[in-house]
Amino acid sequence: MRLIKPTDFEGENPWDALDIEKIANATVRLHWTDQPYIWHVNDGAEVFVLLDGRVDMHVREDGQEKILSLSPGDIFHAEAGDEHKAVPLTLARILVIETEGSI
């Protein structure tokens, strides 16, 4: 898992890109929420882009729970098998790109 802060990325040349994930059979969905999601593990990769609001992303690694604080523009990337749960602190709008049928 990783948290990507777009303002931390700077390429060597104009239009350099940071490859985040390649997903076959993906959905791109805009979510609106003011309630926590459930703990879950995706079948494939997930790219979670916070567009508006504030969200704490709870993650479990090696049996330890950590909280990653997301601000608008931040990107959370989960690989298949990464356990996580989004907890909005305010009303939030989120762009989620993931394998079709993921929970």
Q: What does the domain layout of the chain look like in residue ranges? A: 2-8+21-99
Q: What average pLDDT does the segment 50-76 reach?
A: 96
pLDDT of residue 101: 81
Give percent of the chain with pLDDT exceeding 70.
100
Q: What is the mean pLDDT of the chain?
A: 92
Indicate the fold that domain 2-8+21-99 takes in CATH: Jelly Rolls (2.60.120)
Tell if the pTM clears 0.85, that is, is over it.
Answer: yes
48 vs 26: CA distance, rounded Å: 13
pLDDT surpassing 90 at residue 17: no
Residues 6+ apart with CB under 8 A from 80: 41, 42, 43, 44, 45
Q: Which two tokens stand for residue 14?
A: 């104009």
pLDDT of residue 99: 87
Q: Which two tokens stand for residue 79?
A: 């690989």
Burial of 78 (0-12, 13-18, 19+ CB in 10 A): buried
pLDDT of residue 41: 93
